[in-house]
Amino acid sequence: MAILPIGYVVSVALLAFCTATAVIGPRSAHTTQSYWGFWVTYLINELPFLALYALAASTVLAFVQGDLAAPGGLVAFAVAVLTAAGLAVLIRRALATGAVLRRALADDAGIELPPSRRPWAHILLAPFAVRRRDVVRVGNIAYGDAGRRNLLDVYHHRDRPTGGSVLVYFHGGGFRMGHKRWEGRALLHHLAAQGWVCVSANYRLAPAHHFPDAHIDAKRVIAWVRSHAADHGGDPRTIIVSGSSAGAHLASMIALTPNDPAFQPGFESADTSVAAAIGLYGYYGRVAGPNSSPLDRLRAAPPFLFLHGDKDSLTLVEDTHEFVTRLREASTQPVVYAELPGAQHTFDLFYSLRYRQIIEAVTAFGAWLHTTQPHSDRPAV
């Protein structure tokens, strides 16, 4: 019996450090592309159940080997108990997401979020599985001439029903990295299984490209969808644009600059207006000089849905709150804002307890848009 069971101590210490950091939620003083707190917590914050499994397995193994009887083992066990309590805090915060979303949708747009149906087996045992057998992905369709940075994927139900709403999604990455198959895939598959047509697109990135190249690409995606959505069963009159982090910047700019020729060189006549916009843990500041931020483009806008975590250590929730406040002053359409308890950046990577509830809220938002704002009654924006 070792006085200090190294393997058990190291595994518990690592989980304890990540859990404690996630519970405390240290954040940068300003929006940044990288912060140590994010790298320590983004996995355990969305996957606390897996951390619990690892903690329990290592403790059982230490018990079987007799390591818990050692002085160092007893100390490590005490830390493991405290770590389990911290993971319970993370789970409780994730559970609270549904109530926050329900209240925001009801207060800001009069949307009733149906009771949550949580597929616990999927959440607890297969959070990395985001694909659906009833969904087809048509991959790597070119929408421009910039090679792999101008490719998009289309998701639709295998039976290809017609007339479904269209969701266009843009990935994050600080305009310097990212890919159309990283974030948001659980949402895209879920909506496609409900009869939507979903599009996820790459766009040009720095340092090879600069503003407004990515925004021009995003507009070109909307133009492509307008022309081709019906080929995949979608209704081109009902396009909702969404994105996470930098992708939320793109989505917001699209919604606030409909048919702006400055972002449509060579396709000025294309209709790039959208029915609504959804921003997930977005960055909304300037990416270059004046007029490169959604805050510079405030005007009458389509409905917006903003979701941001109060523990986000990369794009600060206070910045999103400022954008929401100013957009509400400028637009007559609903602006729904939900500040998610305990949520970190990139909460849409896995089929987690929190993200499942977010998927339900986005679905309800889309259904509300389709039923309460028919095409002929939508305001010109």
CB-CB contact of 280 with 244 (8 Å): yes
| Whether residue 245 lies in the annotated active site | yes
Catalytic hit among 190, 249, 345, 370:
345
What is the pairing mode between strands 151-157 and 135-142? antiparallel
Task: State the burial class of residue 29 (Cβ atoms within 10 Å of its Cβ: 0-12, 13-18, 19+).
Answer: exposed
| Whether residue 345 lies in the annotated active site | yes
Catalytic hit among 200, 242, 245, 352:
245
CA dihedral 362, 366, 202, 35 (to 10 degrees): -30
Catalytic hit among 312, 319, 331, 370:
312
> Rounded to an integer, what distance in angstroms lies between the CA atom of residue 255 and that of residue 267?
17
| Whether residue 312 lies in the annotated active site | yes
| Three state DSSP letters for the chain | CCCCCHHHHHHHHHHHHHHHHHHHCCCCCCCCCCCHHHHHHHHHHHCHHHHHHHHHHHHHHHHHCCHHHCHHHHHHHHHHHHHHHHHHHHHHHHHCHHHHHHHHHHHHHCCCCCCCCCCHHHHHHCCCCCCCCCEEEEEEEECCCCHHHHEEEEEEECCCCCCEEEEEEECCCCCCCCCCCCCCHHHHHHHHHCCCEEEEECCCCCCCCCCCHHHHHHHHHHHHHHHHHHHHCEEEEEEEEEEECHHHHHHHHHHHCCCCHHHCCCCCCCCCCCCEEEEECCCCCCCCCCCCCHHHHCCCCCCEEEEEECCCCCCCHHHHHHHHHHHHHHCCCCEEEEEECCCCCCCCCCCCHHHHHHHHHHHHHHHHHHHHCCHHHCCCC
Residue 330: count of CB within 10 angstroms of its CB:
13
> Which active-site residues does the annotation give?
245, 312, 345
